[in-house]
């Protein structure tokens, strides 16, 4: 089945850039997502990228997709303490059901 | 306010005592899903429903049941809970799973402990 992997933990200083990485195995992925989970809350969609795109920018967020290597990254510029959360990568396949598979999540700690 | 609600938010129970976690959405969404979140394993899908009376197994359905009698509700039933079902559970919904309507909205989570 599909597999989505992320490193479990990332620590950055406030004001620096954060880069959260994700690798996936399903070559037929159509959409790739980044969700944010704040403490004690459910997941919220941050951004997504269609599989025929290489990059998408949305304010402080930049998503890069390397389809050949099946690698997705999320860059957060000027990281703030409010960005401390768990970030989940997810991919959606192109099958009839178009199942979404989530990664393990990366806990981002922002040090003031 | 558009939202997905789950009840209860916290539950401690004992092995074998049947329980139901309710999920309701007020956005007229077709698609609903249950996930469990465990440390180091991320979110794993338990069951999903494409529409009323249409449900199917996700990746980890063993020990769980669901029903979808109405569009807005998608309860998760544990007939005989066991300690390995101790987890954080999320319900999610989306308008559909068609392109362009794929964002999933998540409930606040239910933390279940089975002793």
The 10s digit of each residue's pLDDT in B41-75 is 889 999 999 899 999 998 899 999 999 999 999 99
On whether the CB atoms of residues B34 and B23 are closer than 8 A, the answer is yes
> Would an 8 Å CB–CB cutoff place A31 in contact with chain B?
yes
Confirm if B92 and B104 have CB atoms less than 8 A apart: yes
Please give the biggest Cα pair distance in chain A: 46
* pLDDT on residue A95: 64
Provide mean pLDDT across the span B87-96. Answer: 93
Model pLDDT, residue B101: 65
Residue A76: its pLDDT value, please? 97
- Give A44's contacts in chain B (Cβ within 8 Å): 106
Angle B78-B89-B21 from CA coordinates, rounded to 5°: 45
What does the pLDDT look like over A84-96, one tens digit per residue?
Answer: 999 999 988 776 5
Q: Do A42 and B40 touch (CB under 8 A)?
A: no
Q: Cα-flanking dihedrals φ and ψ of residue A67, to 5°?
A: -70, -30
What's residue A22's pLDDT? 95
Rounded CA-CA distance A37/A78 in Å is 19
Element (H or E) spanning B47, and its range?
A: strand B42-51
- Whole-number pLDDT of residue A86: 96
Q: Compute the residue count for chain A.
A: 112
Nearest Cα neighbor of A28 from A89, A101, A87 is A101
Give the best residue of A2, A43, A44, A88 to mutate against chain B (max B CB count within 10 A). Answer: A43
**Contact check, Cβ <8 Å, B106/A30:** no
By C-alpha distance, the chain A residue nearest B56 is A97
- Taken in order A18, A23, A29, A34, the sign of the CA dihedral is negative
Residues 12-31 of B with CB under 8 A from A: none
Cβ within 8 Å, pair B42-A42: no
Residue predicted with more confidence, A98 or A50? A50
Quickly list DSSP for A26-85. -TT--EEEEEEE-TTS-EEEEEEEETT-SEEEETTEEEEEETTTTEEEEEESS--GGG-E
Beta bridge partners of A110: A12
The answer to whether residue B5 neighbours chain A at the CB level (below 8 Å) is no
Kindly tell me if the per-residue pLDDT of A14 is higher than 60.
yes
Contact B53, B70 (CB under 8 A): no
pLDDT of residue A29: 74
Interchain pair A4, B42: CB under 8 A: yes
Tokens of A56: 């998408």
Q: Does residue A107 or residue A91 have the better pLDDT?
A: A107
């Amino acid at each position: 089945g599909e597999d989505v992997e992320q490193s479990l933990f990332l620590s950055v200083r406030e004001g620096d850039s954060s880069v959260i990485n994700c690798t996936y195995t399903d070559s037929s992925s159509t959409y790739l997502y980044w969700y944010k989970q704040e403490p004690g809350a459910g997941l919220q969609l941050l951004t997504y990228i269609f599989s025929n795109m290489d990059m998408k920018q949305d304010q402080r967020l930049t998503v890069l997709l390397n389809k050949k290597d099946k690698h997705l990254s999320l860059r957060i510029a000027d990281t703030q303490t409010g960005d401390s959360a768990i970030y989940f990568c997810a991919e959606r396949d192109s099958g009839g059901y178009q199942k979404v598979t989530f990664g393990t999540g990366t806990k981002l700690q922002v040090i003031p | 306010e558009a939202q997905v609600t789950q009840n209860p938010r916290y539950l401690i129970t004992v092995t074998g005592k049947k329980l139901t976690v309710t999920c309701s959405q007020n956005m007229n969404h077709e698609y609903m899903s249950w996930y469990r979140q465990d440390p180091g394993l991320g979110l794993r899908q338990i069951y999903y429903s494409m529409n009323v009376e249409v449900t199917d197994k996700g990746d980890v359905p063993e020990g769980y049941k669901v029903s979808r009698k109405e569009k807005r509700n998608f309860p998760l039933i544990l007939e005989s809970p066991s300690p390995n079902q101790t987890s954080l559970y999320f319900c999610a919904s989306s308008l559909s799973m068609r392109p362009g309507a794929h964002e999933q909205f998540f409930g606040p989570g239910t933390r279940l402990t089975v002793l």
